[in-house]
Amino acid sequence: MAGQTMIEKILARGAGLEQVNPGQLINVKVDLALGNDITAPVAIKEFLRLGLDRVFDPEKIVLVPDHFTPNRDIAAAEQARQLRSFAEKYGIVHYYEVGRMGVEHALLPEQGLVWPGAIIIGADSHTCTYGALGAFATGVGSTDLAAAMALGEAWFKVPSTIKFEYQGKLPPWVGGKDLILHTIGRIGVDGARYCAMEFGGEAIAQLSMDGRMTMTNMAIEAGGKCGYMEPDQKTLEYLKGRVKREFELYYSDEDARYEKIYRFEVSDLEPQVAFPPSPDNVHPVREAAGIQLDQVVIGSCTNGRLEDLQVAATLLKGRQVHPRVRLLVIPATQQIYREALKQGLLEIFVEAGAAVCTPTCGPCLGGHMGILARGEKALATTNRNFVGRMGHPESEVYLCGPAVAAASAVAGTIVDPREVLD
Amino acid sequence: MILEGRVHLFGHNVDTDAIIPARYLSAVTAEELAPFCMTDIRPGFADAVQQGDIIVAGKNFGCGSSREHAPLAIKGTGIACVVAHSFARIFYRNAINIGLPILECGEDLTGIMVPEERIRVDLERGEILQLSSGRRFYGAPFPEFMQEIIRSGGLIEYVRRRLEEAPSQE
């Protein structure tokens, strides 16, 4: 029997098979199915067509109104109400209301809903985030979610796996976001299309769980079906006190089959910036130096976690946001918000002249809370910079990590964070 | 199924924010979404589509978000089929699940076809015929499993059948 990757082993378990092979079509039992206020209403509409009086398992469905909430307008309010009513009617256990919720992909791991070996589908492309905890997690559409809510199953083509190895020690102010942007810049937005992306090596071992989730979050930006790290001591520490159930740890075999292996030496990696209009248009920060900004956003399922806020606060402490710049800081979950409050981070942001917002996807997808006008430029710790992503089709979004974002908010132009500190 | 229609030509990496910008995602039906399809990258696209037209695109069509609103919006404009060199995976499964015919063509047609020319697409055989030149191009036909979903009329009908076969899941 040929060696198996972590993902192949998890999918084999879900399909009830000894072994699965890349390219094989399988039907798997899902451990969790997720929807939000944009994708779930479409799923609910499809689910209702089936005329069922119950979902497959009310404990295994998660509904999070996070995209256009707090409700941006009447239409969004109606969508959010559909989620709420559905959750009530079908007894959905994991429904999270505004004020107690968070951006879904920061929320689920935090709440202990993700465990190693789990099979999770979400009607949101960034569901791939949960691979950082050693799970198989992938984005699907609303109809897939509807089918999973009914049957507890989903069909997949077993992906082939590409391995990414990062050797060396990350320099100060360089983190998970820089690693993943650098990777996407190298392989392109379809460089891992349909594939699983396995991230490993010394530099990954050094990364915190927050940094790892930033990386797996953006697997989709390379076209990946999922991204993952094999669980280690840090994973287990993160899971302690969060995940109550028993779980099995899966690892890739020594002789597992990889379609390709990329190796990166990262000891000299500079902070990275993705230029519009594509996440693979990646340059070292010095090539972006001097680009004048109107708005900076620190938040999202990519970089709205506590470590991201700590990095930003270190740079913003005792400094002022540039008079021309609007800085939005959006803690990704209510718990992160509360922790940032306790640690004094929010005070630092407010004192610096930033607007601190309640958890929402909001500006990341041009939903609300920070839409760009024609010709405006934003620098954001989010994940996509397509045409019109944050507002007007003639506005522009540059992507980066929290250090570059915070430093640039002070400078008013894109800068290397090391320059602000000097 | 054989489809014949006028070509609307797109390049590589057409993302779902381009297909349907997020600001229109409060709508849920194909009809509501259609007027805004491609509006940021090709204003007036929805009006220019005649029922039965065909999108021809390069690689990685539909990359980005999981929004099913993207294939729904395309379907709503009257586009009968999308032919691309490759599709992003979530768009691919969404299109199958909602019944928007798509075909992955082994050859990149973006440099071969021109806007508004007429082509004929044979979905079962995975064949694309350029009517002006008589040239034929081939794509991979769907695996049996997906054909079953398509034959059922989309994933929901397929699930309905499964539920009828096994009314008790216990």
Identify the closest residue of chain B to A42 by CA–CA distance.
B28
User: Which range marks the domain in which residue A88 is found?
Assistant: 6-263
The residue-averaged pLDDT of A72-99 equals 97
Q: Which of A25, A38, A151 lies at the smallest CB-CB distance from B143?
A: A25
Asked whether residue A217 is assigned to any structural domain, the reply reads yes
pLDDT digits (tens, 9 = 90+) for B65-76: 999 999 999 999
The residue-averaged pLDDT of A179-197 equals 98
- Same domain, residue pair A135 and A58: yes
- Same domain, residue pair A294 and A192: no
- Same domain, residue pair A339 and A405: yes
- On the question of pLDDT at B163 being above 70, the answer is yes
Q: b/e per residue, A346-384, with b = 16+ CB within 10 A? A: bebbeebbbebbbbbbbbbbbbbbbbbeeebbbbbbbbb
Per the CB < 8 A criterion, the answer to whether B16 and B91 are in contact is: yes
Structure tokens of A73? 């307008």
Q: Name the maximum alpha-carbon separation found in chain A.
A: 64
Task: State the pairing for strand pair A25-29/A153-157.
Answer: antiparallel
Q: b/e per residue, B57-96, with b = 16+ CB within 10 A? A: bbbbbbbbbbbbbbbbbbbbbebbbbbbbbbbbbbbbbbb
Structure tokens of B169? 């899941």
- Same domain, residue pair A254 and A306: no
Please, how many CA atoms are within 13 Å of residue A194, restricted to the half-sphere of its CB? 19
- Same domain, residue pair A311 and A357: yes
- Same domain, residue pair A311 and A253: no
Q: Write down the mean pLDDT value for chain B.
A: 93
Percent with pLDDT over 70 in chain A: 100
The residue-averaged pLDDT of B84-103 equals 94
Residue A414 is which amino acid? I
State whether residue A412 sits within 8 Å of chain B by CB.
Answer: no
- Same domain, residue pair A238 and A200: yes
* B159 contacts in chain A (CB < 8 Å): 50, 146-147, 150-151
Residues 264..303 of A with a Cβ closer than 8 Å to B: which? Answer: 278
State whether residue B140 sits within 8 Å of chain A by CB.
Answer: no
Nearest to A129 by CA among A148, A111, A108, A143: A108
Asked whether residue A36 is assigned to any structural domain, the reply reads yes
Q: What is the CATH number of the domain that holds A199?
A: 3.30.499.10
Residue ending a domain, choose from A237, A263, A289: A263
Is the preceding peptide bond at A41 cis, omega within 30 degrees of 0?
no
Which residue is it, tokens 């220019």? B48
Q: What is the pLDDT of residue B165?
A: 82
Interface size between A and B, measured as CB pairs under 8 A: 139
- Same domain, residue pair A304 and A386: yes
Asked whether residue A67 is assigned to any structural domain, the reply reads yes
Percent with pLDDT over 90 in chain A: 99
Q: What is the pLDDT of residue B167?
A: 57
pLDDT digits (tens, 9 = 90+) for B19-32: 999 999 999 899 99
pLDDT digits (tens, 9 = 90+) for A257-287: 999 999 999 999 999 999 999 999 999 999 9
- Same domain, residue pair A283 and A332: yes
* B22 contacts in chain A (CB < 8 Å): 38, 365-367, 389
Q: What is the pLDDT of residue B162?
A: 83
Per the CB < 8 A criterion, the answer to whether B35 and B82 are in contact is: no
- Same domain, residue pair A297 and A179: no
- Same domain, residue pair A313 and A220: no
Identify the closest residue of chain B to A23 by CA–CA distance.
B143
- Same domain, residue pair A348 and A244: no
Torsion A369-A372-A373-A379 (CA) sign: positive
- On the question of pLDDT at B59 being above 80, the answer is yes
DSSP labels for B13-73?
Answer: --BHHHHS-GGGTT--SHHHHGGGTTTTTSTTHHHHPPTT-EEEE-SSBTBS---THHHHH
Query: How far A16 CA sits from the closest chain B CA (Å)?
Result: 17
pLDDT band (50, 70, 90) for residue B150: confident
pLDDT band (50, 70, 90) for residue A291: very high
Asked whether residue A422 is assigned to any structural domain, the reply reads no
Number of domains in chain A: 2
Contact A366 B90 (CB under 8 A): no
